[in-house]
Amino acid sequence: MRPGVFTVFITGGTGLIGRAAIARLLRQHPDVRIAALVRSGERWRSLVTTLGPLVARVVPVRGDITCDGLALGRGAHHWLERHSRAVVHLAADTVFSRSRDAARAVNVDGTRHLLEAVRSLGSGYRPRLVFSSSIAVFGPPFPEAIGDDHLAAPLTSYGTQKAIAELLVSDYTRRGFLDGISIRLPTICVRPGEPNKAASGFFSSIIREPLSGHEAVLPVPEDVRHWFASPRAAVGFLVHAATLDQDALGGRRALTMPGVSATVGEMIESLRRIAGAEAVELIRRVPDEATMRMVASWPGRFHTRRAQELGFEAETDFDEIIRAHVEDELNGVVGAVAA
């Protein structure tokens, strides 16, 4: 490779945040090349479509982190050992309706396989590894706002798997195999694209669909409070984490990211201010007991002083989150519902 050019190795790069992170890295850093782990040609084609000409600086690496021994293939080991200064681990499975075993294979076993692959390359290789964790590592009872010293005690399988992965990243860092950081992401909103099966999907749907002139279903009361950041902010977290001075991190390698605490009612009022009453009228209330029970176990407010002191930034209110979606996904059209 040319002097000064370096590679970032990414898992989960074909997902929403992964595609956006790759695009931002390539635009902002002309000396960066991406090695993106992909499991199929279809996933690679989705990345090609998103990146356009930028894809010339992306190398597809075939592999599957769920296979023992990191059966990523020789190509993955090559890019890790010879070129990659940073590893960004975004691959995750949040849809347990398919298979809890499948989710665990990605979220726990996949993380361990990736860490072992880095460790196996020897003491001469110690990359910065950024792991995408979640506020799901916290479980009730909650204080009014969760601070930096609050115990991670999840009450969901997904949260448990993320907490296990955080501990693995910290342990491999302590033992000198890599330089890791786990960033606990807020719920990302507004997610573009089609509605998904994630339990938190309605948070995006009640904004995204009305902005496009379509009906959305709200399954919980308007007093439900949650913690949010935009896809734009999430990408900023990842890029900043990949370049943060390790001396500033110290021994505590898991950080809760800043965000916006808002109730569903406050989200709807933000929608009203930006898109008008016509958009709000497209939200249909259909209470769902199962979703309400699940949401009741999620945290709603954080104090993120440590992350903010280290330079991580997010939106300051939900209006900003909606405007980010309008600018990034709707060509900046504000105040009118699409026909």
Closest by CA to 246, choosing from 130, 324, 99, is 130
Distance separating alpha carbons of residues 214 and 279, to the nearest angstrom:
9
Distance separating alpha carbons of residues 169 and 177, to the nearest angstrom:
10
Q: For residue 186, what are the CA distances in angstroms to 138, 204, 248, 327?
A: 12, 13, 22, 20
Residue 194, token pair as written in the block: 């089609």
Return the axis-axis angle of helices 318-329 and 231-243, rounded to nearest 10°.
90
123, 124, 130, 136 alpha-carbon torsion, rounded to 10°? -10
Cis peptide before 190 (omega within 30 of 0): yes
Distance separating alpha carbons of residues 264 and 203, to the nearest angstrom:
8
172 has catalytic annotation: no
Q: Are strands 128-134 and 32-38 parallel, antiparallel or unpaired?
A: unpaired
Q: Which of 9, 79, 158, 318 is catalytic?
A: 158
Going by C-beta distance under 8 Å and a sequence separation of 6 or more, which residues neighbour residue 134?
Answer: 158, 159, 162, 184, 185
Distance separating alpha carbons of residues 310 and 130, to the nearest angstrom:
15
Distance separating alpha carbons of residues 233 and 17, to the nearest angstrom:
10
Cβ neighbours around 31 below 10 Å, total: 11
Contact 210, 280 (CB under 8 A): yes
User: What is the SS3 assignment for 179?
Assistant: strand
Tokens 């894809």 found at? 55
Distance separating alpha carbons of residues 55 and 47, to the nearest angstrom:
8
Closest by CA to 59, choosing from 81, 42, 44, is 44
Catalytic residue ranges: 158
